[in-house]
Amino acid sequence: MQRAIEACMPTTIHRWCIWYLTKKIPSKLNGYKGHTEIQQEMSQVVWNSHTKESFDKNLDDFLLKYGLVDNKWFSDLYKDRHIWVPIYLDQHFLDRVGEQVSSLIFNKFAVTYNSVAAQMKCQCLLFESRGILYRHALSVLSFERVTQVSPRYILK
């Protein structure tokens, strides 16, 4: 599918679905017990790592805990982390000169708000992955005294 997307839509950036990856754990680790626990902890590693360094450390700890350090599937996933791990996704605003951009830290997450373009980006990437503005972004909008949310953040 990735090659077809690249051929048909060359400007599209292909990302892997985290939900789908975690659902593959039982089939990829069919000799391991506790698939549910492994899935849950893997999800925690992915969503609760707020820096690249913390993701690497948390993943190392996870792999050691479950004896998966030499597992080829996890090794391959790590090599491709830039297309599925939220903290590695290269999703930043391309701010134009002269636009007012503010960056705030809320609840350990960096949130960037561009008042001219009415765009925001939270380090947690929950809007990009789940389609819902979470408290981090909403708190920054409140702080910036924004009274109307941009239509781009209201999904159909």
List pLDDT tens digits, range 38-82: 888 988 898 888 889 999 999 999 999 998 999 999 999 999 998
Measured distance CA(71)–CA(74) in Å, rounded: 6
More confident residue, 51 or 19: 51
Name the strand (E) or helix (H) holding 42.
helix 35-47
Q: How many residues are present in the chain?
A: 156
pTM (two decimals):
0.56
Measured distance CA(71)–CA(29) in Å, rounded: 9
pLDDT for 16: 78
